[in-house]
Amino acid sequence: MLMHLGSYDGVGPVFDQLWGWVTENKVPVQRTIGIYWDDPDVTPAPQLRSAACVEVPGDFQVTDRGGLALDVTEIAGGPYVTTRFTGPYEDLAPVWSDLTRHVEQTLRRQISENPAFEVYVNDASDTPPERLITELYMPVV
């Protein structure tokens, strides 16, 4: 996990840094994940916390961080409401808003303190934006 502080739109270069390290160190990546701690409708953009992540096998050992502030952690277990979106990453904000409304108003569930996250199903480097698939996970109580 490589942390980012600031607008969620600015996390892209953090993913680039992470993938540079992944490629250089031949890391056995299973999935690419973005973690998001704060609601951008409530938290000012400079204070938004997010992280660029890759999922690796449980027995993988990080031996060289390449000068990056990499952290190894696990995503919290528990109940999540999920949805799948096909389209460009730039169009995800309203999908998150709709999911939040659905959780709170339709399901009448409370969003937990655990961070929300996205799983990027295909690779943005070789997939047209309109065919990108993103799975959204909203933690609930």
pLDDT per position as a tens digit, 114-123: 999 999 999 9
Question: Of the candidates 119, 31, 137, 125, which has an alpha carbon nearest to the alpha carbon of residue 82?
Answer: 137
Contact at 8 Å (CB) between 34 and 50? yes
Report all structural domains of the chain as residue ranges with CATH numbers, in order of start: 1-74 (3.20.80.10), 77-141 (3.20.80.10)
Longest dimension (CA), the chain: 46
Supply the pTM of this predicted model: 0.94
pLDDT per position as a tens digit, 38-78: 999 899 999 999 999 999 999 999 989 999 999 999 999 99
Interacting residues of 93 by C-beta distance below 8 A, sequence separation 6+: 40
